[in-house]
């Protein structure tokens, strides 16, 4: 196409894979090397269809529940974490299993257990039905934790003992929304116990901050991520709140060109479970229609790495 309109693309950094996602994918790959195919994976290892399909091609079989796993095959638990009942069921069947739960999610699980041992009731800020929330609730006795989804829930709360409360949060929430809910909790329950350190993970915070840094210069924002990816959805919300129209897309083929129009500058980012190859795919698609100038907008370098399970690297 001749006479392509100029387009400046501000590429957020950091973006894409976080250390927990990288580790989870490596765990499935190493399990396939160690045990051979098929290796079963309970739920999507991470929320990204491209990643899941690639692992499926390598021999991973994704299932909803443990009873779909044959007795003689290994199973991997997803990065979002699982209730205690799941590894217990695997052990009762003598299944070989590898836990790919993100270490930052595991940290929240340990905090929850400690708070229950102290006799506290936990108010958990998160999204109902998200695998991470289900996994965290599954660490504690039924009724020991109450879900808080919005700031409005705080005013309506009825708790067993206001003097023995604590709060924890899902790791992939909106930083701003969560801060507002936490402020409301502290105002209503002044003695509530806060986590020793913030539960929202570094990758979620950094990716939201990177969007905030570039959004004021952008006419549109494209966020690469799955519709069931909490951290990806939050990135689009961050841009919208700044006043920049944003769309969540899974791949370049999802770009709505009529919606995009002919902007001068767009922002491009990717959720923590979206691979860099999809960023390149979107840039290539944009280059077919526009005269693209790419700019990496560095915000915060990330050097976090997590150890792999001993049973796969020994």
Task: Tell me the chain's radius of gyration from C-alpha atoms.
Answer: 21
CB 188 within 8 A of CB 155: yes
Q: Residue 48: is the preceding peptide bond cis (ω within 30°)?
A: no
d(CA 60, CA 232): 24
Q: Under DSSP, is residue 183 helix (H, G, I), strand (E, B) or coil?
A: helix
- Tokens 């280059």 — which residue? 287
Which listed residue (132, 217, 250, 295) is catalytic?
Answer: 132
Q: Give catalytic status of residue 132 as yes or no.
A: yes
CB 103 within 8 A of CB 20: yes
Output the six-digit token pair for 198.
Answer: 């913030």
Q: With CA atoms as reference, report the closest residue to 146 among 169, 123, 179.
A: 123
Q: Under DSSP, is residue 45 helix (H, G, I), strand (E, B) or coil?
A: coil
Q: Which residues are catalytic?
A: 132
């Amino acid at each position: 196409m001749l006479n392509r309109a100029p387009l400046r693309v501000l590429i957020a950094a950091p973006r894409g894979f976080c250390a927990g996602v990288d580790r989870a994918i490596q765990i499935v790959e190493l399990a396939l090397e160690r045990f051979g195919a098929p290796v079963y994976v309970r739920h999507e290892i991470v929320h990204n269809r491209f990643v899941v399909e690639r692992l499926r091609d390598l021999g991973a079989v994704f299932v909803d529940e443990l009873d779909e796993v044959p007795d003689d095959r290994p199973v991997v638990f997803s990065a979002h974490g699982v209730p205690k009942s799941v590894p217990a069921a695997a052990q009762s069947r003598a299944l070989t299993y590898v836990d790919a739960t993100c270490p930052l999610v595991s940290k929240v699980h340990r905090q929850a257990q400690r708070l229950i041992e102290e006799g506290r009731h936990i108010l958990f800020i998160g999204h109902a039905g998200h695998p991470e929330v289900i996994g965290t609730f599954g660490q504690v006795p039924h009724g020991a934790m109450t879900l808080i989804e919005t700031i409005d829930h705080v005013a309506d709360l009825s708790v067993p003992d206001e003097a023995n409360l604590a709060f924890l949060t899902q790791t992939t929430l909106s930083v701003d929304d969560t801060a507002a809910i936490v402020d409301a909790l502290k105002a209503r329950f002044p003695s509530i116990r806060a986590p020793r350190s913030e539960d929202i993970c570094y990758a979620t915070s950094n990716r939201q901050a990177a969007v905030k840094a570039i959004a004021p210069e952008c006419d549109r924002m494209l966020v690469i991520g799955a519709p069931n990816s909490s951290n990806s959805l939050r990135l689009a919300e961050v841009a919208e709140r700044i006043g920049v129209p944003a769309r969540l897309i899974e791949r370049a083929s999802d770009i709505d060109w009529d919606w995009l129009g002919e902007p001068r500058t767009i922002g491009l980012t990717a959720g923590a479970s979206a691979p860099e190859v999809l960023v390149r795919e979107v840039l290539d698609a944009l280059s077919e229609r526009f005269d693209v100038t790419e700019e990496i907008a560095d915000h915060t370098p990330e050097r976090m790495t997590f150890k792999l399970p001993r049973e796969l690297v020994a």
